Structure 1
Amino acid sequence: MTNKPDILCIGSVLWDIIGRTPAHMGAGADVPGRISRLPGGVAMNIAMTLVRFGLRPALLTAIGRDPEGDELIHACERMGMDTAHVYRSDDLPTDRYMAIEGGNGLVAAIADAHSLEAAGDKILRPLGNGALGDPARPWRGLIALDGNLTTALLSDIARSPLFAMADLRIAPASPGKAERLLPLLPLKNATIYVNLEEAGILCHRRFDTAPEAAEALVAAGAARVLVTNGGRTTAEATADGVIAADPRPVLVTRVTGAGDTFMAAHIAAEHRGRNREQALRDALDAAATYVSGDITT
C-alpha cells in the first residue's frame, strides 16, 4: 500500500442537478432561478471539503463507464481525489441527484443512487484484496461512510473485520435512510453525524434540542455522536458527557451538502489536532460559510 490516502470516502459520488431561487416556493411553483450541475453525493461532498482542508481522500464508490461517469472521474481527479479504487460498471449508469431549493429551504429532492446500491460490496473490494487492506492487515485510518449503501451492506460492514480497526465517521444520506445506520450504532470505533430529525428516527422518538438527542443516542449504545439542528444549537456526546455550540447566524442561500460539509470540516479539524470544543466550532464555522454561499454558486 503505497501513497496511502489520508481518508477513505465510501458511498455516493454522482452528479448533483440543483435548481435554486431566492423566492419562497410551494408545491407547483414555477419561478425564475439558476440550475447547476456539479459533482455531488454524500461521499463526494465530504471529499471535496476534505480536499479544501488539505487532506487527500480516496473514493470507494460505483461510477458507470458512460460519458457522464468519465466526466465525473476526471472532475474528481482534477480536485485532487484518488479515484484508483472506484468500481467502474459497464452496465450501470452513473447516479444522479436532483433538488429544488427556494428561499424557504429545500423544497424537494430525488436521489437516483440505484447503481451504487446495485454494485453492493464490489465497491469494498480494495479493503480486502490488499490494495487498501486485507483481513490480516485491515485499514487503520479514517473512513467516512455514508448511508446510501443498502441496509444489508451496512450490516455486513458492522460485522466485518475489515472495518474493525478504522476510525469510522458515519452519516445517513437523508432522513429517509437514517434507519439504515442502526446496525452501526453500537460500534465502539464509530462517530455518527446526524441532524435532529435523523436522531429522532434512530431513537424512535421526537427531540426538541440537539443536546437532548445526542445524549439519548449515547444512552442507546452509540459511542460518539454529533447532532446538528439547522441554525440552532449543535451537540456532541460521548459517555463522558455532552458539549454544545451555536452556529453563527448567516443568510442561508443553499442547503444541499451542508451536513456533509459540517462532517468533513469536523474530521479535518480533529486531523489537525483540534480538541473537541475547537473541532465543533471549526465545523460549525465551515458549515455557516457554506450555506451562506452566493445563490448563483
Structure 2
Amino acid sequence: MLTQNRSNLQPTTLLLLGIPGLEAYHIWISVPFCLVYLLSLIGNVSLLIIIKTDHKLHEPMYLFLCMLSVVDLMLTSSTLPKILSLFWFNDREIYFEACLTQMYLIHSLSTMESGFILALAFDRYVAICLPLRHSTILTSTVILGLGLGVAFRGAILLSPHPFLLRWLSYCKTNIISHTYCEFMALIKLICSETKIRRSYSLIVAFLTGGLDFILIICSYVLILRTVFSLPSKAARLKTLSTCVSHVWVILAFYTPAFFSFLTHRFGHHIAPHVHILVANIYLLIPPMMNPIIYGIKTQRIRERVLKFLTIKCV
C-alpha cells in the first residue's frame, strides 16, 4: 500500500517487480547478469590501466575510450548491485528518492555514453578525412573540452527528469514492473496528466541519442567517400580496418537502445518480459562489449594486453 504524505500521494518506498512472468527464474537469470557485470568491471578497469600506463596510447581515440570506460563503470555500478540483490535476496524495496537518483544516473550516463561514441566517430573522421591536421585539430584542450561538453550535456539535459516526477501523485501503485528505475516505468504509476513530461523526454532523447546517431552516420558517409577515393584496394581496406572497432561499438549500443525505445512507445502488444529483457540488454551489454571489442580489434591494445599476460606468466 502507498504511504501518503500530507501534500500529495507519494510513496516512501517503491517495489521493483523484476522481470514479470519470469520471477521463478530470477536466480538463474542472475547468473549471466553477474557474469556480465564482472566482465564489465574487469574489462573497463583493465582498459583504463593499460591506457594510463602506456604513454604511446595517450592519443585522442584512446582518451575518448577512457572516458567511455569511466561512464560504463558508473552505469553498471548504479544498476547491477540492486538488480542482483533483487534476484538473489528478493530485495524489492527501493526508497523513492533513491529510485529517482537511479533513474537520473541511468539516463544521464547513457546520454554521455552516446556522446563519447560520437566523439570517437569525430576522431575517426578527422584521422581519415583530415589526417595531416589530426594533431592540430584534436589537441589536449579540444579533447578536454569535448569530454566536459559531453558530460555536462548529459548531466544538465537530464537533470529535470527527477523533478518532473518528484512532486506528482502516485495513486495507482508503488510496484514498478522492471528490474530498475527508469523514466517510462515510473511515469506509468502517475495518475495526473503526463503528456508534457513524456514530450520533454522524447525531445531530450532526440537531441541526444537521436542527434548523435545522425551525426555518426554523416561522419561515416564522409569517411566512406574519402576511403573509396583512395587509389588502391589495399589502402582502402587498411583505412577501413581502423574503423571496425568503432562500428561494432555503435552497433552494440544503438541496436538495443533503439529497439528498447521503440518497443516502449509503440510495441504495446509485446510481452512485458520482452520489454524488460531488451531494456536490460541495452543497459548491460554495451559496457561489457566495449572493452572486449577494442581489446580484440585494436592492435595496439591487443599487443599491450598480450605483453602484460606474458610478463605475468613469466
TM over 0.5: no
More helix by share: 2
TM norm structure 1? 0.26
Higher Cα Rg, which structure: 2
The alignment's TM-score, normalised by the length of structure 2, stands at 0.25
